[in-house]
């Protein structure tokens, strides 16, 4: 097949953005629908891609490569393996859901909002597809700007502080990553007699790394730079404090994408680039990173317990959940890695759903303070039921996707060192504590005076809101019962990852 389907998927939202830009802003409905149409188109195409993807073999498929800046061997090179295709589908899915979920809440500057969102989608898809380090970096930064605007323009009262913190924090990491990327390419260039050809090509670089040609000291520095960039994005303890602020201030759909996809960019970077390119350094730092991950898991959960704000609580819970991802990556076990990736997906679905549900409440009450809620199970039974479902999924109830991912990480880590699992398992109780306590205060009990004051505004979920949540819930159940759908795709990437990391694949 010669159709450049990856590029088509990447740039469909861009075309959408241009189309939206061309529409006059006095037709907000038309703008919304156009944006939705293009994001749906990208989604359908990503599903077609999934159908066309050949499951078995290792390596990248649908590779497209064109020279871009031949002087430095920078190329437009994209391709997918089992990992990236999953991330792309996750992105396209959450994108149209987010856009649809924004129909009601976003009434001001709809055009700019939709353009931002579509550009954001381009960047996110691009990150997952790029096989050229420079291209990857560019997409990585492209993601930053629309998110900055989305939080800063359509966010809450403290949005400017939050968005600046988000951008600056991310930039510190990513600019150091740029240095590391350039240094890596240069090391490759030196190793190839001064020729820049292929110096940014991920596959060639990885072969170069596999032959042990990056020096240990160099690896350590470059790895740390990449790690910092990715750890901030994930976010790992102690680089996480931008997340609660960003989540709290972002509009609902912004939070959904932030939690659903943006955090995954960091984890993806670790799996795809940081470890395979610098395996020696990855092993050197694995111990401290595992410790940080364990801290993040427990710490995030503990802090979640005392959060007064719904979104802030979910944000801290993300720190905890994403800790499983980094843990799963750095124990270097095929099982744990598959669990980590599954966790990435299910965290995207579950936390995305939770943010949508908080958005539903926020639309009606314009408040997210847990203490002001109460008794919503009686007033908004459908909402409360769905909320309960996502909360249980987040708490890792077996049969839903969150459980499988976390359990695989647990099992994989246990095989490496039972201590890790023992130190981490307490999160089972902590997660249930903060989630159920929050649910109890929001949904159970009698109606608070604050809610009574709202009277008839407190209607149950609308059809549109239900439509945004339905696919997420469906996928959570399906992946919980049939995780093989994902795991089959991940077998090859997991082996490739471990091979690149220099670990023998067991089982």
Contact yes or no for 411/328 (Cβ under 8 A): no
Question: What is the distance between the alpha carbons of residues 134 and 318, in angstroms, rounded to a whole number?
Answer: 29
- The strand pairing partners of 80, in sequence order, are 61
Shortest Å distance, C-beta 130 to other proteins? 12
Distance, CA of 226 to CA of 177 (rounded, Å): 5
List the x/- string, 175-204, binding to other proteins by CB under 8 A. xx-xx--xx-xx------------------
Q: How far apart are the first and last CA of the chain?
A: 35
Q: Which span (3-11, 41-49, 77-85, 435-443) binds other proteins, by CB under 8 A?
A: 435-443
171-186 burial, b for 16+ CB within 10 Å, e for fewer?
Answer: eebbebbbebbbebbe
In whole angstroms, the minimum distance from the beta carbon of 430 to other proteins comes to: 9
DSSP 236: P
In whole angstroms, how close is the CB of 339 to other proteins at the nearest point? 7
Q: How far apart are CA 328 and CA 487, in angstroms?
A: 14
| CA 247 remoteness from chain centre | 13
Q: Quick one: which of 86, 254, 410, 501 contacts other proteins (CB under 8 A)?
A: 410
Site track 100-119 with other proteins (rule: CB under 8 A), x = hit: ---------x--x-------
- The H or E element spanning position 100 is helix 82-101
Q: Which of 263, 392, 472, 475 binds other proteins (CB under 8 A)?
A: 392
Q: Does 453 bind other proteins (CB under 8 A)?
A: no
Residues 306-365 that bind other proteins (CB under 8 A): 306-307, 333-335, 338-339
How remote is the C-alpha of 55 from its chain's centroid? 23
Indicate the residue among 456 and 507 with the shorter CB distance to other proteins. Answer: 507
Closer CB to other proteins, 30 or 425, in the complex: 425
Please, what is the Cα angle at 191 between 187 and 192, to 5 degrees?
A: 120
Q: Given the complex with other proteins, which of 362 and 414 has the nearer CB atom?
A: 414
Per-residue burial over 3-19, b if 16 or more Cβ lie within 10 Å, else e, is eebbbebbbbbbebbeb
Nearest to 140 by CA among 61, 272, 210, 229: 229
Q: Interface with other proteins by CB under 8 A: which range of 10-18, 286-294, 320-328, 403-411?
A: 403-411
76 lies in the site for other proteins, by CB under 8 A: no
Q: Which residue, 185 or 357, is less far from other proteins as judged by CB?
A: 185
Residue 214 interacts with other proteins (CB under 8 A): yes or no: no
394 is a site residue for other proteins (CB under 8 A): no
- Token couple for 55: 């499951």
Q: Which is nearer to other proteins, 41 or 319 (CB)?
A: 319
DSSP β-bridge partners for residue 65: 77
Query: Minimum CB separation from other proteins for residue 431, in Å?
Result: 9
Q: How far apart are CA 125 and CA 107, in angstroms?
A: 27
Q: Which stretch binds other proteins (CB under 8 A): 209-217, 252-260, 304-312, 455-463?
A: 304-312
- Binding piece for other proteins, criterion CB under 8 A, among 89-97, 264-272, 352-360, 395-403: 395-403
Size of site (CB under 8 A) for other proteins: 95
Contact between 242 and other proteins (CB under 8 A)?
yes
Q: Contact with other proteins (CB under 8 A): which of 47, 48, 168, 419? A: 168
Subset of residues 122 to 151 that bind other proteins, contact rule: CB under 8 A: 137-138, 141-142, 144-145, 148-149
Closest CA to 341 of 86, 89, 127, 46: 86
Residue 299 within binding range of other proteins, rule CB under 8 A: yes
What is the closest distance, in whole angstroms, from the C-beta atom of residue 270 to other proteins in the complex?
19
Report, in Å, the least distance between residue 90 CB and other proteins. 19
What whole-number distance in Å separates Cα of residue 310 and Cα of residue 367? 9
Give how far Cα 314 sits from Cα of 133, 251, 257, 304, Å.
32, 14, 14, 7
Instruction: Answer yes or no whether residue 273 interacts with other proteins by CB under 8 A.
Output: no
Q: Which of the stretches 47-55, 92-100, 322-330, 434-442 binds other proteins when contact is defined by CB under 8 A? A: 434-442
Contact between 445 and other proteins per CB under 8 A: yes
Phi and psi at residue 267, in whole multiples of 5°? -65, -40
Burial (0-12, 13-18, 19+ Cβ within 10 Å), 90: buried
By CB under 8 A, tell whether 222 contacts other proteins: no
Q: Which stretch binds other proteins (CB under 8 A): 8-16, 78-86, 436-444, 451-459?
A: 436-444
Q: Using the rule CB under 8 A, is 506 a contact of other proteins?
A: yes
**Is 372 near other proteins (CB under 8 A)?**
no
Interface with other proteins includes 461 (CB under 8 A)? no
Among 52, 426, 467, 470, binds other proteins (CB under 8 A): 426
| Integer Cα distance of 13 and 45 in angstroms | 11
Q: Which is nearer to other proteins, 3 or 399 (CB)?
A: 399
Residue 215 within binding range of other proteins, rule CB under 8 A = no
Helix H or strand E segment including 480: helix 463-481
42 DSSP β-pair partners: none
């Amino acid at each position: 097949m010669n159709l450049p389907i990856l590029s088509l998927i990447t740039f469909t939202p861009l075309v959408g953005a241009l189309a939206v830009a061309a529409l006059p802003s006095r037709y907000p409905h038309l703008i919304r629908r156009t944006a939705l149409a293009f994001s749906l188109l990208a989604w359908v195409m990503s599903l077609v891609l999934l159908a066309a993807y050949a499951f078995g073999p290792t390596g990248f498929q649908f590779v497209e490569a064109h020279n871009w800046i031949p002087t430095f061997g920078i190329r437009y090179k994209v391709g997918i393996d089992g990992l990236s295709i999953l991330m792309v589908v996750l992105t396209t899915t959450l994108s149209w859901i987010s856009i649809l979920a924004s129909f009601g809440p976003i009434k001001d500057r709809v055009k700019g909002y939709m353009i931002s969102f579509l550009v954001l989608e381009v960047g996110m898809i691009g990150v997952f597809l790029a096989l050229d380090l420079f291209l990857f970096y560019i997409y990585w930064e492209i993601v930053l700007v629309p998110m900055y605007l989305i939080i800063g323009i359509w966010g809450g009262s403290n949005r400017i502080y939050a968005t600046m913190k988000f951008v600056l924090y991310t930039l510190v990491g990513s600019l150091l990553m740029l240095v590391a990327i350039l240094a890596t390419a240069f090391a490759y260039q030196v190793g190839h007699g001064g020729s820049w050809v292929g110096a940014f090509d991920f596959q060639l670089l990885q072969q170069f790394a596999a032959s042990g040609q990056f020096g240990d000291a160099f690896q350590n520095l470059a790895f740390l730079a990449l790690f910092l960039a990715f750890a901030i994005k994930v976010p790992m303890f102690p680089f996480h404090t931008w997340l609660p602020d960003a989540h709290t201030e972002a509009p609902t759909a912004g939070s959904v994408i932030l939690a659903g996809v943006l955090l995954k960019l960091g984890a993806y970077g670790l799996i795809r680039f940081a470890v395979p390119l610098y395996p020696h350094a990855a092993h050197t730092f694995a111990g401290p990173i595992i410790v940080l991950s364990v801290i993040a898991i427990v710490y995030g959960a503990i802090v979640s317990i005392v959060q007064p704000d719904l979104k802030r609580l979910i944000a801290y819970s993300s720190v905890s959940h994403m800790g499983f991802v980094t843990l799963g990556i750095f124990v270097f076990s095929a099982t744990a890695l598959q669990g980590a990736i599954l966790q990435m997906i299910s965290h995207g679905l579950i936390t995305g759903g939770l943010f949508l549900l908080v958005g539903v409440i926020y639309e009606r009450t314009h408040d997210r303070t847990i203490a002001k809620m109460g008794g919503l199970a009686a007033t908004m039974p459908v909402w409360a039921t769905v909320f309960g479902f996502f909360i249980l999924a987040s708490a890792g109830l077996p049969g839903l996707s969150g459980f499988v991912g976390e359990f695989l990480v647990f099992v994989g880590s246990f095989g490496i060192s039972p201590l890790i699992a023992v130190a981490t398992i307490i999160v089972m109780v902590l997660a249930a504590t903060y989630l159920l306590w929050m649910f109890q205060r929001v949904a159970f009990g009698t109606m608070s005076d604050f809610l009574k004051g709202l009277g008839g505004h407190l209607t149950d979920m609308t059809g549109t809101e239900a439509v945004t949540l339905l696919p997420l819930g469906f996928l959570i159940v399906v992946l919980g019962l049939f995780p093989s759908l994902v795991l089959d795709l991940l077998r090859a990437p997991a082996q490739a990852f471990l091979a690149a990391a220099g670990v023998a694949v067991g089982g």
